[in-house]
Chain A
Amino acid sequence: MTAIPVWDVLQRRTPDADWEVAGGIKAPDLEMAMLLARETHFRHKEAPAFAVRLRGTEEVHPALDLTGIGGVIDRAYRRSEGYAGVGAKLKKVHALMKERGLAIDRPRPPATRGRAAEVAHG
């Protein structure tokens, strides 16, 4: 049994930014590391550029071509913009259910409490 090495997965947040660590993968060699890093870390168009680096070494291996990663045609369903307007839709449905006499009106905490369920992409 040979230990499969760990590769740091690096990304640039903008085309001019420095490399930063985005995560890691285990892969037997550079070719597989590149392939698996692309599939695991960049399917939502997380960054304009990525690279891998064998853990404990200095050499950065950038991906040469990123056209098409994360989809060229519509992939909005994968990202938050695909669901813009869901909050407003809930309000409309509430009004509709009130109209139909189905909405349940019971005491509840003030609206600000516990409603911060959203987390921004960071």
Chain B
Amino acid sequence: MAERDSYFAPASRPVPEAPPLEGPPIPDDPRLSLLLALADDELVIGHRHSEWTGWAPHLEEDLAFSSIAQDEMAHARLLYELAESVAGSDPNTLALGRRPEEYRNAVICERPNRDWGYTIARQWLYDEADDVRTAALESTSWKEVRDALGVIRMEERYHLDHGRTWFRRVAEDGVTARDRVATGLELVLPEAMALFEALPGEEVLLSEGVLPRASDDLLAEWLERIGSDLEAVSLDYVLTGHARLGEFVPTSSGEVEERDELTVPGVERRDGKWVHVGGFAGTGGRHGRHSEDFGPLWKEMTALHRAFPGASW
């Protein structure tokens, strides 16, 4: 843990103290759960990417990650704008003014950056997953989402290109670099699978054609895709070697009802391709259940917003 945390730049001052949030809860609505899953993933991973801004180990990559961070956060903003009418809150309130357990991002997005090997592994696997799900959503029955994703995907392809190029170059390199990225991949993999945890109300979304394909089906496509890329550079051992899943804890408010922790499906190679066996059990990020890393992130991200209610900046 010490090594992981050490790559945070030191701040001049601790996070300002701010009161907890009051106000009505976020409505329970299947469409909102889809938008918030997409938007919160983009916001929170964008937040993590932007922590490399001014700090990355390679100056050109500092610029690249800062651009990716801005793209992701701008996508979140666009999706919060769509969510505004359903949620009854404006984009800033949705982004910075919800209780921790109301955020629906997958846990992989909230994990600290650790080092560059982890960062590259996560960026590649996340953007492959984002590509799979946004491609599927291009045929959603919800027109506004379709239009927004059309624009978002024009920017996302640069992320995919960036992630794939770096993954391949590092994986084809010497032992040290391969080990760094392999270590990253082993840590990222199980939590990246949870990007495809079923959404609350997924049956409704499927029956209305809002979600054209089930999360489970998208997971299979993603796994087949990254499985063959990993095989191509002989790093497929990370698919079966990962085993571990990070600890899940209730968020800081303690208001999350007791449920089983999320466990992800196993991974096997069958008939020449990588497939998942079994399904998810328990609940994770899509139900507002986050890791021990989310509390500090949330506290810092929302502090000013909470400390000055209604202020203009």
The answer on a CB contact under 8 Å between B165 and A71 is: no
CA distance in complex: A68, B151 (Å): 9
A75 to B70, CA, bound (A): 9
Question: B154 near A68 (CB under 8 angstroms)?
Answer: yes
Instruction: Tell me if A35 and B67 are in contact (CB < 8 A).
Output: no
Taken together as a complex, chains A and B put the C-alpha atoms of A36 and B65 apart, in Å, by: 11
> Contact flags (1/0) for B231-255 with A, using CB distance below 8 Å?
0000000000000000000000000
Q: Which of B64, B78, B157 makes the CB contact (< 8 A) with A39?
A: B64
- Complex interface: chain A residues within 8 A of B63 (CB): 39-40, 43
Does A10 lie at the interface of the complex (its beta carbon under 8 Å from any beta carbon of B)? no
A39 near B60 with CB under 8 A, answer yes
B136-165: CB near A (< 8 Å → 1, else 0) gives: 000000000000000110110110011001
List chain B residues, Cβ under 8 A from A103: none
Considering the chains assembled together, what is the distance between the CA atoms of A32 and B172 in angstroms? 14
Partner of B60, one of A25, A67, A71, A78: A25
Say how far A82's CB is from chain B's closest CB, in angstroms: 13
Q: Is B71 an interface residue (CB 8 A)?
A: yes
Contacts A73-B74, A75-B74: A43 and B155 contacting too (C-beta < 8 A)? Answer: no
The reply to whether the CB of B269 lies closer than 8 angstroms to some CB of chain A is no
Say yes or no for A72: interface residue by CB 8 A criterion: yes
Task: Check B4 for interface membership: any CB of A closer than 8 A.
Answer: no
Residues in B neighbouring A38, C-beta threshold 8 A: 158
CA gap between A25 and B8 in the complex, in Å: 28
**CB 8 Å contact bits of A11-48 with B (1 = contact, 0 = none):** 00000000000000100000110011011100100000
Q: Report how far A12 CA is from B229 CA in the complex, Å.
A: 36
Contact residues in A for B71 (Cβ distance below 8 Å): 71
Near A by CB (< 8 A), chain B positions 165-196 give: 165, 169
CB of A74 within 8 A of chain B? yes
Is the pair A73, B151 in contact by a Cβ cutoff of 8 Å? yes
Smallest CB–CB gap between B91 and chain A, Å?
Answer: 12
Residue of A at shortest CB range from B59? Answer: A40
Partner of B155 from A25, A36, A40, A72 at Cβ < 8 Å: A72
Complex alpha-carbon distance, A43 and B62, angstroms? 13
Q: Provided the pairs A39-B64, A39-B67, A43-B67 are in contact, do residues A71 and B161 lie with their beta carbons within 8 angstroms?
A: no
Minimum CB–CB distance for B229 against chain A, Å: 16
**Interchain CA distance A39-B74 in the complex, whole Å:** 17
With contact pairs A31-B165, A35-B165 given, residues A40 and B60 touching in the complex (Cβ less than 8 Å): yes
Within 8 A of B (CB), among A63-98: 67-69, 71-75, 78
For the complex, give the distance between the alpha carbons of A119 and B71 in Å.
27
Q: Which residues of A pack against B, CB within 8 Å?
A: 25, 31-32, 35-36, 38-40, 43, 67-69, 71-75, 78
A-B contact pairs, 30 of them (CB 8 A): A31-B165, A32-B169, A35-B161, A35-B165, A36-B60, A36-B64, A38-B158, A39-B60, A39-B61, A39-B63, A39-B67, A40-B60, A43-B63, A43-B67, A68-B154, A68-B158, A69-B158, A71-B71, A71-B74, A71-B155, A72-B151, A72-B155, A73-B74, A73-B75, A73-B78, A73-B151, A73-B152, A73-B155, A74-B74, A75-B70
Sort A-B residue pairs by CB-CB distance and give the 8 closest, nearest first. Answer: A39-B64, A68-B154, A36-B60, A72-B154, A39-B63, A72-B151, A68-B155, A73-B151
In the complex, besides A25-B60, A39-B64, 14 extra interface pairs with C-beta distance below 8 angstroms are: A32-B169, A35-B64, A35-B162, A35-B165, A39-B60, A39-B61, A40-B60, A43-B67, A67-B154, A68-B157, A69-B158, A71-B71, A73-B78, A74-B74
